[in-house]
A and B are shown apart, each in its own frame.
Chain A
Amino acid sequence: MSNQQKHWEKTRGLLFITLAIWFVFSIGIFLFGAEMNEVTGPFGYPWTYWFTCQGSLGAFVILIFWFANRQEKIDEEFGFSEREDE
């Protein structure tokens, strides 16, 4: 397998992990919205209510930065990161 194929395989792996986390915060939590809202969540807000107005939103922000850093590491590992002069 060529260097590029390995790079793409890892990139795809990272995509699946990223999308899985994304799925949990955008869809997973709200599958059980009514049940979970009975629980007291962070800062004392009802659980589902807090996720839909802050929690999921914040999780997406963190997820994107985490993803960007991981992808940079993958690019470096296989020598595909950009040079400054490009």
Chain B
Amino acid sequence: MKGNFIDNLPKIYGIYTGGFVGFIIIMAIAEQMGMTAKTIGIAFVAFTVFIYALIGYLSRTAQADAYYVAGRQVPTVFNGMATAADWMSGASFVAMAGGIYFKGYGYMALLVGWTGGYVLVASLLAPYLRKFGCYTVPDFIGTRYGGNLARFSAVVVLTVASFTYVTAQINATGTIASVALDIPFQYAVYVGLISILLCSMLGGMRGVTWTQVAQYIVLIIAYLLPVFWISNKMGAGFFPHFMLADEVARIGELEQQFGFVKNAAADLKTVPKGLAGITKAHSAVNATPWAFISLALAMMMGTASLPHVMMRYFTTPSVKAARKSVGWSLFFIFLLYSSAPMLATLSKLSLIDPNLPTGIIGKTFAEVEAIDWYQNWNQANLMFISDFNGNGTLELNEFFMGGKAVVLATPEIAGLPYVISGLVAAGGMAAAMSTADGLILAIANAISHDVYYKIIDPKAETAKRLLVARVLLVVIGFAGATIAAMEIQGILGSVIWAFDFAMSGLFFPLVLGVWWKRANRQGAIAGMLGGLAAGAWYLVWVRTGGSGFLGITQLTFGIFGSAVSLVLMVVVSLMTAEPDKATQKMVDDVRVPSGKSILGRSH
């Protein structure tokens, strides 16, 4: 039966995709027949979450290797889709186009960083860790370097990085649930959390894998359909990715014409928190090479160190499949990432070009305030205009918008039916849920497998291990939701920090574990703990008014952390005895795909 399921995957997900498209069409018809926008929003979120929960239930399991690594039988392409959903968070979905819209080139370093990192994953790590046969990332560190302290240090770094990330994702789930279901954020966070746990609790990695594939399908349809539709509706080109050069040039022209007028500080104080005006050129290079490259580099090395991504490649049937699967992952990610700048371009042009019917710059304030969508989004606190110079017409510097509005409001501005907005909400929910699931599972598995089973109670039976794993899943989820409900940091800031923490502590211990035989336990422990401490110190220092050095900011502190980690690891390794013969043999075995994995199939 199991084999059957894997063989039938294309058919099953084909039917699922057809069913989802059918659902969109039914909703579109219902809208025409007078269904309210609110009901459509609720229907979209409720229907998709129900499907994920159903998949989660059907994937329930009582076996350790199914719970931890989905039985190692996830085919290449499907693992690629699951990784893409795992990877693309609520921030990628909701906030990325907005970031590009406001910050332009300097921000797009994230696009390069969040894709280029996969080259490092494919060439330096994923196939070797797959050959190792570990359940979790600390499992690799603990076995390669030996000893409970090394294993525990890896768990510490993993938990710090993933937990920083997961609060942001639960926050995003809550934001979308509160908008779509129209309930207060404090409660919506827990609604989001329960949806997340429904996917992962019964089936562990197996449940998460098959829901993530389903979530990818929803989120990619929800992202691409509006981009293509808007582009066609505006007459910008039927395939926007290849055809928006004129639009990009036109934005440059308008920027010249309007100029970037600097607002007085007193005027800016009247703008609601979180909204921003267009102050940077759309396609011009507006960052120094180092500012761009350091951010991209930090994100790339962070990508290769984040455990929730790495563990997806433990689920493929072979080493060969793990390598190919990284390529598919990046292909599926590319589909969304390369569309975000196109959406930002279309959104900006439709708002600022006076020649377009949707353009609002140059109109009188009375005209703009009479527009339906402006009223809606002004009420939602995502748009704001104010006549600073008192001339009665709206200037570029007098228009303010929230970053999320680029994804959430553009379909409505372009005059697309509301069903698209409902679809976008479902897509955002899918993106946030899939990432949150991967992260919570990464933390819970590391603690249950590496701390509980490997360190505290190595004789525990499978049933007991999986019970501990599930209890931890719930506890960590609730801890994340509680912190998310406090709304301490913005979504994107904490996502970037997570990358910096991960690279500070894990990048070199992982890479050198495969590529440098001489690396030993003492070096790895020094590298992990020293790197994490150095990175955290730098972050605190810069946040509390420190000047920083070499242009490393609070967004790129991982560069400092990982440099310290590398130096410590090399120096300490060379000062202490080289690893024993058995460990060196283990490294040799990891380097070739053939032969048995280092750790047994079930361990």
Contact = CB atoms under 8 A, between A and B. Distances in A.
B334 A57 contact: yes
B594 A81 contact: yes
Contact of A30 (B100, B112, B244, B341): B112
Interface stretch (B139-147, B285-293, B359-367): B285-293
Interface string B374-413: 0000000000000000000000000000000000000000
Contact of B245 (A7, A32, A43): A43
Given A52-B108, A57-B112, A83-B594, A30 B338 contact: no
A52 B112 contact: yes
Contacts of B242: 43
Contacts, number: 149
A34 B284 CA distance: 8
Contacts of A86: 318, 594-596
Highest count of chain A CB atoms <10 Å: which of B283, B297, B592: B592
Contact of B109 (A4, A19, A52): A52
Interface secondary structure of A, over-half rule: helix
Interface in A33-86: 33-34, 37, 43-46, 48-49, 52-54, 56-58, 60-61, 63-65, 67-68, 71-72, 75, 79-83, 86
A19 B592 contact: no
State which size class the interface on A falls in. 35 or more
A9 B545 CA distance: 48
A76 B189 CA distance: 51
B318 A82 contact: yes
Contacts of B592: 4, 7, 75, 80
Contacts of A46: 248, 283-284
A8 B323 CA distance: 17
B234 interface: no
B593 interface: yes
A22 B297 CA distance: 11
A34 B285 contact: yes
Contact of A26 (B105, B296, B324, B340): B296
Nearest to A11: B591
B284 A26 contact: no
Interface in B295-329: 296-297, 300, 318-320, 323-324, 326-327
A19 B123 contact: yes
Interface in A1-42: 4, 7-8, 11, 14-15, 18-19, 22, 25-27, 30-34, 37
A57 B337 contact: yes
Contacts of A72: 320, 323
Interface stretch (B113-121, B443-451, B465-473): B113-121
Contacts of A19: 119, 123
A54 B109 CA distance: 12
Contacts of B492: none
B271 to A, nearest CB: 28
A52 to B, nearest CB: 4
B115 A60 contact: yes
Contacts of A58: 334, 338
Given A65-B324, A75-B593, A49 B283 contact: yes
B111 interface: yes
A61 B332 CA distance: 10
B124 interface: yes
B572 interface: no
Given A31-B293, A52-B111, A65-B327, A60 B118 contact: yes
A32 B292 CA distance: 11
A75 B394 CA distance: 64
Given A33-B292, A43-B245, A60 B297 contact: no
B103 interface: no
Contacts of B241: 54
Contacts of A67: 119, 122-123, 323
Contacts of B111: 52-53, 57
B449 to A, nearest CB: 23
B334 A64 contact: no
A17 B243 CA distance: 33
Contact of B289 (A14, A33, A52): A33
A70 B130 CA distance: 18
Interface of A: 4, 7-8, 11, 14-15, 18-19, 22, 25-27, 30-34, 37, 43-46, 48-49, 52-54, 56-58, 60-61, 63-65, 67-68, 71-72, 75, 79-83, 86
22 contacts: A26-B296, A30-B293, A33-B289, A37-B284, A37-B285, A43-B245, A48-B285, A49-B105, A52-B108, A52-B111, A54-B341, A56-B112, A56-B116, A57-B111, A57-B115, A61-B327, A64-B118, A68-B327, A75-B592, A75-B593, A80-B592, A86-B318
Closest 6 pairs (CB-CB, A-B): A44-B245, A53-B341, A64-B327, A26-B116, A68-B323, A80-B592
Interface of B: 100, 105, 108-109, 111-113, 115-116, 118-120, 122-124, 127, 241-246, 248-249, 283-285, 287, 289, 292-293, 296-297, 300, 318-320, 323-324, 326-327, 330-331, 334, 337-338, 340-342, 588, 591-596
Given A49-B285, A53-B342, A68-B122, 14 more contacts: A7-B592, A11-B591, A33-B289, A44-B245, A44-B249, A53-B338, A57-B115, A61-B115, A64-B323, A68-B323, A68-B326, A82-B594, A86-B318, A86-B594
